[in-house]
Structure 1
Amino acid sequence: MKTHVRALVVGGGAVGTGIACHLARAGWDVMLLERDELTSGSTWHAAGLLPLFNMGYAASHIHDYSVRFYKGLETETGLDPGFAVVGNLRMAQTRARMDEYELYAATVETIGIPHEFLTPAQIRDRWPLVRTDDLRGALFHPTDGYINPADVTQAMARSARDRGAQILRRAQVDGYRWTGAEWIVSGRFMVERGGNLIPGEDMFEIRAEHVVTATGNHAQRTARLLGIRSPAIPVEHQYIVTEPDAALVDWRRSNPQHPVLRDADAKWYVREERGGWILGPYELGAPARFLHDVPAAFRADLFPLDLERIEAEYLSMIHRLPSAESVGLKDDYNGPICYTPDGNPLLGPAPGLRNMWLAEGFSFGITAAGGAGHYLTQMMTTGEAEIDMAALDPRRFGPWMTTEYAARKNEEAYAHVFVLHHPDEERPAARPLRTAPCYDRLRARGAQFGQVNGWERPTYFGPPDAPDSFDHDARSFRRGGWWPHAEAEARAIRHGVGLIDATAFAKHRVAGPGAAAFLEWFTTNRLPKAGRMALTYALGDAGTVRSEYTLVRLSETEFYLVSAGAWAAYDGDALRRAARDRAADFGHVEVQDITTQWGVFAISGPRARDLLRPLIRDRDPDTAVSNARFPWLSMRDIELMMCPVRALRVAYTGELGWELHHPIEMQNYLLDRLMEAGESVGLTLVGARAQNWLRQEKSYRAFGSELGRDATPLEAGLERFVDPARDFHGRAAMQATGIRTRCVTLMIDGPDDADPWGREALYAGAERVGRLTSGGWSVAFGRAIGMGYVAPGHAAPGTRLQVRMQRRLWPAEVVADSPWDPANTRLRADG
């Protein structure tokens, strides 16, 4: 048995073996530890489906890789993984469901996943067992199907062993200790007594440069051993297997296997199984399990079936497959499947830990195992994956998250597997939780809230008597009920003045004698002088964008960093890791997360000064917010009546404006004063959706959309925020990467009832040349607008392209950056 390895994988399900397989393929010395037998966790009772369908860009890449990878395993290893490429028919009963499929299709065109749309008549002709009279159509994936979970896991394990990996079974990890250079992972070998697995007397200790945990249902125990928090908690998933269906048996005499069926509106999947059917519902009421620990006696075990909970789904299967009505039940399964609050796995660096990687919370682990291994291996061996993996990063959940929150949100994520995934979707469970003091006041004024990192943030403002914040009737794949409200809000900022609650912004204080030198190395732009600010970027090892910060210099040794609210834990972790790792170079640098200490109101519009002047307490109120005393991109500590404010002369909307950072305990006082002063200037409350449209009119890139770990600042067109004279982290890799793609802004002549969402494919004639990363409506130009990435040869202003929307190609034109006010005269306006 080895005692030193480069990479140690803990967990021998499909995900763990997939990672071990790919690390071994990369030439790393690998060991895998499994506390029981390979596949003895959720893998053994998984239905083995391989659905390509996923509304997320990164997850779609992962699923696509897995499906392609599994098809070559038998040739490589000699083991048949049991892959039945039968196709996947995803049916739609409503127009809204077809809209969802069309948006999905426009997204996966950028990946190259094969798919086709079918009419009810075409479905009936191909698969006459399916009732189609109440269908609107379907999306068909011809290249996916189902696989044997145990067989594909064993095939990946053999692939890993063939490349030198060692796999040890019945080895339970009980401790992780970082020495400063490597991990010491300790535990005991397990023995079986009376059908139970218990720790034996034999112990082990393994030293590893890197550790990956893929512990499935045991994720909470793993998190506790590592001293971190994890939202990965299992939820019950049950499925039933029927006796043979005579009609299916007869049809199969002259036909290939039936495709996997998904009736998303009925919340179930069905696949053929030995002449019968497997029905797997995603019903309401499935409970979270193992919130703290998996019982020692629970091995390859199941929970009692709850047929009443899935009665509606069972009856709807009979409706869709009438021949199944007289078929008896043969078997049933009800086992734990791990989830996270947003349904995406945790794949990437563990918060706060060096060389510790998480691969937890896989609700579709069989589908994702191969791709997870591939892209995590890229991250571990080269610094980043070739795609932006931020949507799966474990650090997207902050330390505020509790076990109760994760359990309730995971139950919701399970029940929402087949709920319409609107791009403006807002799920109600465990809300409201994190609220700024102004929450009730804004709600009374019609605020409709979304959730960002647990914070309630206004997305738009309806009338004060509007339905509650979670009204799904306001949502659509086209222009939802919120659209006219957002349009009016955007116009208000362009022509008057608006107020945006931006309290959810992440805020960090970086201070100390070495803070300036540290930030010069950590970020790309020149550091500003005291009282000034700069937009700057932190890069990863691969030279791509890891974080975006508005950096305010408070003094020679103290800085205030503001970044995207959704990424507070992620950004803070990056700062703390870097400061710790470079302490020998820069000395002690203090990094504090002060997000909850400061509220933020962004005021913006031509009348912003008129709003502030009556409130400011200054020796000369008339000039206090003039360009002479308060220039663009500067910071001043001011007083708005009795509230001290750290005011930043900056506006994400492209208009004259300020961000008013204030002590959060004074927020309601400040809001009341601003609303009173706003009565005379027509102050409008504005939500995040209007702001998103306005920033695209200025070509402002957004982290998580245009900015991410798959593009460098140069590819994003941000050269002006990169100081080439300094040797900042990632500089060499950024320059070596070159320009593979270009970020552009486009004006789009789309359908009358819909705008792009920022997920759609871009074409030049018949050639796919890029994809949108943002989209919306431009009130300034009266056209749809979008931002995205295209091949460099198609990035020049004036280039005519097409964008895929609703299965059609619509005209689009690349325009010069900042189509609205390109000279920034409105931002710099004096008065």
Structure 2
Amino acid sequence: MKTQVKALVVGGGAVGTSIAYHLAKAGWQDVMLLERDELTSGSTWHAAGLLPYFNMSYATTHIHDYSIKFYKTLEEETGLNAGFFVVGNLRMAQTDARMDEYMLYASTAETCGVPFEWMTPDQIKERWPLIRTDDLKGAIYHPTDGYINPADVTMAMAKGARQRGVMIERKWQVDGYEWAGDHWNVTVTKMVEKGGNLVPSDETQVIEAEHVVTATGNHAQRTAKLLGIKIPAIPVEHQFIVTEPDPTLVEWRKTNDQHPVIRDADAKWYVREERGGWILGPYELNAPARFEYGVPDSFRADLFPLDLERIEEEYMSMIHRIPSSEEVGLKDDFNGPICYTPDGNPLIGPAPGLRNMWLAEGFSFGITAAGGAGHYLAQLMVEGEAEIDMASLDPKRYGSWMTTEYAARKNEEAYEHVYILHHPDEERPACRPLRTAPAYDRQKALGAQFGHVNGWERPNYYGPLDAEDSFDHDARSFRRGGWWQHAVDEARAIREAAGLIDATAFAKHRVAGPGATAFLDWFTCNKLPKVGRINLTYALTSKGTTRTEYTIVRLAENEYYLVSAGAWAAYDADYLRKAAADKAGEFGYIEIQDVTTQWGVYAIAGPKSRDVLKELIRDADPETALSNKRFPWLSARDIELGMVPVMAIRVAYTGELGWELHHPIEMGAHLWDKLMAAGEKHGLKPVGARAQNWLRQEKSYRAFGNELGRDATPLEADLPRFVDLDKGFHGKDALVETGVRSKCCTLLIDGPEDADPWGREALYTEDGTRVGRLTSGGYSVAFGKSIGMGYVRPELAVPGTKLKVRMFRELWDAEVVEDSPYDPKNETIRKDG
């Protein structure tokens, strides 16, 4: 066995073999794959092999699309039949809400170029008469996917990898990782059969690997312990049953092709044809997490006992949907571990805190995702970035606060939510509340309905005081839900009086030291602010695209306070620290502290916000303390609000006169009370994130994860004012070389009366040509219509351009407007007083 390699892939399931294949295809030599048992011996062997396109994530949809297309090429390349049956995928709906979900999903499919068809119940019945359709509303049909044999496709990818020079070694277990400064020393042990078990032998090796990729599936917790990190990938039981042949199906097949995979999402199951019978795979309630602390040595290609009572409801609903299955007996059953993550999406990308260590873990739909995951991870590793923004799948989207208990319970929830309606405003309740800011109970008492950001509870809106809970279950909708009017009222309060927003979840870092200024000047693309001032700026990738957005406050000559999006705290911290470590020798000592949990943040905004703060500020001249002369726009000052010391920043994400009030977090409840009391006579209202999201679109403020990401440069986001091309900075050459492939713009939309866009809809020209997609959407109180932001070809991102937005299968009029359609001259935000 070779002991020095460019890349070592650990795990020989479908995901691991795909990664090895694609690294070799991308040109890397000396790639090795290790498997502790046999290829496919993990979850791959008992997977049902379905290839569903359906996914609300833009990145994951691209991954699934690549897989489905890639698998169709393997036989020609390798000579091995991957066992791909392109039978189509019929996803049915029993309710109008489910059809709304499919129409929203179709927006993502359209923008990714995924083919689909709409079908009525009559069309379904005419084409597939075995399905009962009298209680259906319709279906979405994908004609190009179906199901595949997991073992066959894995072996085909393994052969393709070997043909490209990959070394595949079986029966070797990784027992240790040690970073040697420029490579990993990976200790491996030969595994041997003993009494039906797989046990370590005395034979060990140390492999030197420049890069390591872990694709260890159910063994992710063992991997996490070896690496000293947290990986929230824990298996959940998934069971499916195989029936005896169905005589009605057998007869129908004499004159018809294979039946498509069918999914009754409202009944929580999939069914596909299998040797004249059916495979039923339910996603039932109460499926338990397993192996929270590691897989037992005795567990190999094993299964758990079947729990038929747990899936009785789903089994009876299959009989209802396919009446001919009622008299068919059971032939086989499976109950095996399938790895999940708290949000159901895999973890693909660099491991937190480690160099050249890559994770590919937590694949609940591993066969569907394997091909695309290998392709895009190889791009990340070989080229520095993938052609799509992979941030939503980054392992660092979960911080170090996450525990095993949290991951296990959230993964169980993710499993049972596979077929729950995926509202774009959904808020899942498991493990909540967990991280709460000091004013949480006060906000809840005011009717706050909470979302969660990186584990933090954050008010989405303030609803009725008699609401049953704080997670707005009954208010969700694919259209204007029960929360909509509350958000309208909050947005108007900020535009007309004042609003108070809890922004404590913001990520906050202190960067200081002799090398801080030179480092940040290189790390970000905008000019650094002067002492006491702030700037909005971006850290770029090596490809010149946007890696992180920061508000930088300069506290002293070599001391800075960086504020970034709360959802990306660990993601931002890891990139910042690694970049600083890389440049320490060049720029000098740099100290980085994560101070997120030390500082609470309230944002107060609106034309009367200054009046509210005047009630509380302690100053020799309180009347002028907040004036433009003493406290200009885009500056920061230490002030006192009553007994609370506050670092106030004159900026407002809503585009109104306002301040961010950064305060010692332990004083948050006291400050909240004082602000609410002081604001009562000025019309101050507590405001949630949904109204804020609408208001920032009226100002064309880009949001990271929406308009800003690793697939577009700041120039493509149309933010040249925040890019200083006169200085050198990381990613500059690539940014300039890339040019402007597409351009961000703001649109006002004449949409349906009962709905607004969510920010994933396709954009068309008036002649019906698809030209782009929305990245944000909502309602504008200033203009009384829907609003959105998105990307189109540069020549179309011109004010006055007429476009169309696809919503609920119809095209609605939209017009590109000037940036910051509300208060384009920033007169309101600069208001003096």
Give the SS at the match of 1:217: helix
**Separation in structure 2 between the aligned mates of residue 676 and residue 499 of structure 1, nearest angstrom:** 12
Once the two structures are TM-superposed, the CA of residue 466 in structure 1 deviates from its matched residue by 2.1
The aligned counterpart of 1:25 is: 25
1:433 and 2:434 aligned: yes
**Separation in structure 1 between the aligned mates of residue 53 and residue 560 of structure 2, nearest angstrom:** 45
1:679 and 2:680 aligned: yes
1:776 and 2:756 aligned: no
**Separation in structure 2 between the aligned mates of residue 766 and residue 32 of structure 1, nearest angstrom:** 48
Matches within 5 A, 1:272-287: 272-287=273-288
Once the two structures are TM-superposed, the CA of residue 653 in structure 1 deviates from its matched residue by 0.2
| Per-residue Cα deviation, 1:58-89 (whole angstroms, up to 9, x for no partner) | 00000000000000000000000000000000
**Separation in structure 2 between the aligned mates of residue 22 and residue 291 of structure 1, nearest angstrom:** 31
Once the two structures are TM-superposed, the CA of residue 3 in structure 1 deviates from its matched residue by 1.4
For structure 1, the residue ranges without an aligned partner over 5 or more in a row are none
**Separation in structure 1 between the aligned mates of residue 153 and residue 794 of structure 2, nearest angstrom:** 40
| Per-residue Cα deviation, 1:4-38 (whole angstroms, up to 9, x for no partner) | 11111000000000000000101112100000000
Please tell me the residue identity of whatever aligns with 1:792.
P
The aligned counterpart of 2:221 is: 220
1:311 and 2:312 aligned: yes
Please tell me the residue identity of whatever aligns with 2:746.
T
**Separation in structure 2 between the aligned mates of residue 67 and residue 463 of structure 1, nearest angstrom:** 47
Q: Does the Cα contact within 8 Å between 2:450 and 2:459 map onto a contact in 1?
A: yes
| Per-residue Cα deviation, 1:313-344 (whole angstroms, up to 9, x for no partner) | 00000000000001000000000000000000
The aligned counterpart of 2:386 is: 385
Aligned-pair Cα RMSD in Å? 0.6
Matches within 5 A, 1:3-14: 3-14=3-14
| Per-residue Cα deviation, 1:334-377 (whole angstroms, up to 9, x for no partner) | 00000000000000000011111000000000000000001001
| Per-residue Cα deviation, 1:739-791 (whole angstroms, up to 9, x for no partner) | 11000000000000000000000001221100000000000001100000001
Once the two structures are TM-superposed, the CA of residue 463 in structure 1 deviates from its matched residue by 2.1
Give the SS at the match of 2:556: coil
Please tell me the residue identity of whatever aligns with 1:572.
A
The aligned counterpart of 2:209 is: 208
The aligned counterpart of 2:2 is: 2
Please tell me the residue identity of whatever aligns with 2:490.
E
The aligned counterpart of 1:332 is: 333
The aligned counterpart of 2:93 is: 92
| Per-residue Cα deviation, 1:611-649 (whole angstroms, up to 9, x for no partner) | 000100001000000000000000000000100000000
Q: Does the Cα contact within 8 Å between 2:284 and 2:310 map onto a contact in 1?
A: yes
**Separation in structure 1 between the aligned mates of residue 599 and residue 471 of structure 2, nearest angstrom:** 27
**Separation in structure 2 between the aligned mates of residue 463 and residue 169 of structure 1, nearest angstrom:** 60
| Alignment match of 2:822 (pick from 800, 820, 828) | 820
**Separation in structure 1 between the aligned mates of residue 791 and residue 353 of structure 2, nearest angstrom:** 32
The aligned counterpart of 2:185 is: 184
The aligned counterpart of 2:411 is: 410
Give the SS at the match of 1:724: coil
**Separation in structure 2 between the aligned mates of residue 83 and residue 175 of structure 1, nearest angstrom:** 37
Give the SS at the match of 1:459: strand
| Alignment match of 2:799 (pick from 797, 800, 812) | 797
The aligned counterpart of 1:352 is: 353
Q: TM-score, normalised by structure 1?
A: 1.00
The aligned counterpart of 2:636 is: 635
Matches within 5 A, 1:316-715: 316-715=317-716
Please tell me the residue identity of whatever aligns with 1:25.
K
**Separation in structure 2 between the aligned mates of residue 46 and residue 101 of structure 1, nearest angstrom:** 25
For structure 2, the residue ranges without an aligned partner over 5 or more in a row are none
How many pairs does the alignment contain? Answer: 831
Give the SS at the match of 2:611: helix
**Separation in structure 1 between the aligned mates of residue 180 and residue 732 of structure 2, nearest angstrom:** 30
Please tell me the residue identity of whatever aligns with 2:823.
D
Please tell me the residue identity of whatever aligns with 2:574.
D
The aligned counterpart of 2:763 is: 762
**Separation in structure 2 between the aligned mates of residue 407 and residue 256 of structure 1, nearest angstrom:** 41
The aligned counterpart of 1:129 is: 130
**Separation in structure 2 between the aligned mates of residue 647 and residue 526 of structure 1, nearest angstrom:** 21
Q: TM-score, normalised by structure 2?
A: 0.99
**Separation in structure 2 between the aligned mates of residue 755 and residue 614 of structure 1, nearest angstrom:** 38
**Separation in structure 1 between the aligned mates of residue 587 and residue 184 of structure 2, nearest angstrom:** 26
Please tell me the residue identity of whatever aligns with 2:580.
A
Give the SS at the match of 2:343: coil
**Separation in structure 1 between the aligned mates of residue 464 and residue 482 of structure 2, nearest angstrom:** 12
Please tell me the residue identity of whatever aligns with 1:10.
V
**Separation in structure 1 between the aligned mates of residue 99 and residue 659 of structure 2, nearest angstrom:** 43
Q: Does the Cα contact within 8 Å between 2:190 and 2:204 map onto a contact in 1?
A: yes
Give the SS at the match of 1:537: strand
Once the two structures are TM-superposed, the CA of residue 532 in structure 1 deviates from its matched residue by 0.5
Give the SS at the match of 1:363: coil
Once the two structures are TM-superposed, the CA of residue 205 in structure 1 deviates from its matched residue by 1.3
Matches within 5 A, 1:142-291: 142-291=143-292
Matches within 5 A, 1:57-96: 57-96=58-97
| Per-residue Cα deviation, 1:152-192 (whole angstroms, up to 9, x for no partner) | 00000011100100000001001111111111111101000
Question: Once structures 1 and 2 are overlaid, which stretch shifts more, 179-188 or 96-105?
Answer: 179-188
Give the SS at the match of 1:520: helix
Once the two structures are TM-superposed, the CA of residue 689 in structure 1 deviates from its matched residue by 0.2
Give the SS at the match of 1:584: helix
**Separation in structure 1 between the aligned mates of residue 591 and residue 239 of structure 2, nearest angstrom:** 49
Once the two structures are TM-superposed, the CA of residue 206 in structure 1 deviates from its matched residue by 1.0
Please tell me the residue identity of whatever aligns with 1:111.
C
Q: Does the Cα contact within 8 Å between 2:450 and 2:472 map onto a contact in 1?
A: no
Once the two structures are TM-superposed, the CA of residue 792 in structure 1 deviates from its matched residue by 1.3
| Per-residue Cα deviation, 1:227-258 (whole angstroms, up to 9, x for no partner) | 10110000000000000001000000000000
Once the two structures are TM-superposed, the CA of residue 469 in structure 1 deviates from its matched residue by 1.6
Please tell me the residue identity of whatever aligns with 1:577.
K
**Separation in structure 2 between the aligned mates of residue 733 and residue 470 of structure 1, nearest angstrom:** 43
**Separation in structure 1 between the aligned mates of residue 639 and residue 471 of structure 2, nearest angstrom:** 37
Give the SS at the match of 1:509: strand
**Separation in structure 1 between the aligned mates of residue 465 and residue 587 of structure 2, nearest angstrom:** 53
Q: Does the Cα contact within 8 Å between 2:479 and 2:756 map onto a contact in 1?
A: yes
Give the SS at the match of 2:654: coil
**Separation in structure 2 between the aligned mates of residue 107 and residue 487 of structure 1, nearest angstrom:** 27
Once the two structures are TM-superposed, the CA of residue 581 in structure 1 deviates from its matched residue by 1.2
**Separation in structure 2 between the aligned mates of residue 274 and residue 325 of structure 1, nearest angstrom:** 17
Once the two structures are TM-superposed, the CA of residue 793 in structure 1 deviates from its matched residue by 2.0
**Separation in structure 2 between the aligned mates of residue 527 and residue 20 of structure 1, nearest angstrom:** 43
| Per-residue Cα deviation, 1:365-411 (whole angstroms, up to 9, x for no partner) | 00000000010011111111111111100000000000000000000
Question: Once structures 1 and 2 are overlaid, which stretch shifts more, 530-539 or 197-206?
Answer: 197-206
**Separation in structure 1 between the aligned mates of residue 697 and residue 379 of structure 2, nearest angstrom:** 32
**Separation in structure 2 between the aligned mates of residue 113 and residue 422 of structure 1, nearest angstrom:** 21
**Separation in structure 2 between the aligned mates of residue 2 and residue 603 of structure 1, nearest angstrom:** 62
Please tell me the residue identity of whatever aligns with 1:795.
A
Question: Once structures 1 and 2 are overlaid, which stretch shifts more, 438-447 or 721-730?
Answer: 721-730
**Separation in structure 1 between the aligned mates of residue 480 and residue 73 of structure 2, nearest angstrom:** 44
Once the two structures are TM-superposed, the CA of residue 202 in structure 1 deviates from its matched residue by 1.2
**Separation in structure 1 between the aligned mates of residue 670 and residue 217 of structure 2, nearest angstrom:** 48
